[in-house]
């Protein structure tokens, strides 16, 4: 009985010791991960401000490092459990089946992580860039290993999986040059003077305080280097002459605001200058009138 009691005590004491070791390993892992994350974040922020370097890659790298620390700590804690070595050997024997099952279960997660790493490496957009993904336009607020957060102009936060972003066409309005060529379409009646309407549209555009006065154009720009504002006739419809105003704006958001302001300003000038913005005319003939005519 003494021997059995001693064996029980050893087993109990050994189990308690193993639990304590596992808890200590997990606590140390959490401490190291959080401390490393804070240290890397502060270091990268200082270097970004001093060297004017974008911190998108640093953010992804920091989160990847923290993820690796947690993964290593959990695996080391699991190795302290007796029998895990034998279990590991058994798992390796059936690795093919487990790989297929685990692959199907985690394929989306790994796809998001890989896409997040590729975003950090190739930088189709960075934190702070103004982008349009699908129908949504906003500012990139954060990029994680799993998803990207876009803050829209309505202050909504859109969380998009990185793998989905990799499949979308992205318009980056902050890449190289945020300057935007804005447009405004207005139709005038056939009785209105085209040259007079063009003159009014150009004058109102030049009055706007946000119009870019100094633009360094290039050969691929729709407007020449000397043109800041331009009006072209675009289409002749059944009842309108459609004209399009082109103007330079500092960025996408400003171009939208300018479009709203110029729509109102040009409409008021048209009213004063007798430039008609037409609407469809329809002549309705009643059947009884036709019968009376006969």
What CATH code is carried by the domain that includes residue 141?
Answer: 2.30.30
pTM: 0.56
Interatomic CA distance for residues 135 and 220, integer angstroms: 26
> 200 and 161 in one domain?
no
For 147, how many CA atoms within 13 A lie in the half-sphere containing its CB?
7
For residue 194, the model assigns a pLDDT of 92
Residue 125 inside a domain? The answer is no
Mean of pLDDT over the chain: 75
Cβ neighbours of residue 144 closer than 8 Å, sequence gap 6 or more: 60, 63, 116
Minimum mean pLDDT among 114-128, 153-167, 278-292: which range?
278-292
Does pLDDT of 120 surpass 80?
no
> 248 and 165 in one domain?
no
Residue 231 inside a domain? The answer is yes
Cβ neighbours of residue 128 closer than 8 Å, sequence gap 6 or more: 54, 139, 140, 174
Residue 268 inside a domain? The answer is yes
Strands (E), the chain: 130-133, 136-143, 147-152, 157-161, 170-172, 180-188, 229-236, 241-249
Which domain covers residue 134, as residue numbers? 130-172
**Looking up tokens 């200082």, which residue turns up?**
46
Distance of CA 267 to the CA centre of its chain: 35
> 75 and 9 in one domain?
yes
Higher pLDDT, 78 or 9: 78
Paired with 236 in beta bridges are 241
Number of domains in the chain: 3
- Which of 172, 196, 223 is the last residue in one of the domains? 172
Interatomic CA distance for residues 105 and 279, integer angstroms: 58
Dihedral of the alpha carbons of 169, 174, 175, 176, in degrees to the nearest 10: 150
Higher pLDDT, 284 or 276: 276
DSSP 27-69: HHHHHHHHHHHHHHHHHHHHHHHHHT---HHHHHHHHHHHHHH
């Amino acid at each position: 009985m003494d021997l059995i009691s001693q064996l029980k005590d050893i087993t109990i004491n050994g189990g308690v010791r193993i639990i304590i070791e596992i808890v200590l390993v997990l606590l140390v892992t959490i401490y190291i991960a959080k401390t490393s994350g804070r240290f890397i974040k502060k270091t990268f922020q200082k270097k970004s401000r001093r060297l004017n370097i974008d911190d998108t890659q640093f953010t992804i790298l920091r989160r990847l490092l923290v993820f690796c620390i947690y993964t290593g700590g959990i695996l080391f804690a699991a190795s302290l459990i007796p029998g895990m070595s034998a279990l590991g050997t058994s798992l390796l024997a059936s690795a093919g089946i487990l790989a297929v099952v685990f692959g199907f279960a985690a394929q989306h997660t790994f796809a998001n992580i890989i896409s997040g790493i590729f975003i950090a490496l190739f930088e189709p957009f960075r934190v702070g860039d103004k982008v349009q993904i699908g129908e949504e336009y906003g500012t990139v607020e954060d990029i994680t290993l799993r998803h990207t957060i876009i803050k829209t102009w309505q202050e909504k936060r859109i969380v998009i999986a990185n793998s989905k972003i990799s499949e979308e066409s992205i318009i980056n309005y902050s890449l190289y040059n945020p300057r935007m060529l804005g447009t405004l379409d207005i139709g005038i009646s056939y009785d209105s003077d085209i040259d007079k309407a063009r003159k009014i549209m150009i004058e109102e555009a030049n009055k706007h305080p946000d119009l870019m006065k100094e633009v360094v154009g290039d050969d691929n720009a729709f407007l020449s280097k000397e043109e800041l504002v331009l009006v072209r006739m675009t289409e002749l419809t059944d009842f309108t002459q459609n004209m399009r105003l082109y103007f330079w704006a500092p960025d996408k958001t400003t171009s939208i605001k300018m479009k709203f302001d110029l729509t109102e300003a040009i409409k008021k000038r048209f009213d004063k200058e007798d430039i008609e913005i037409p609407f469809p005319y329809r002549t309705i003939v009643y059947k009884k009138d036709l019968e009376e005519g006969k």
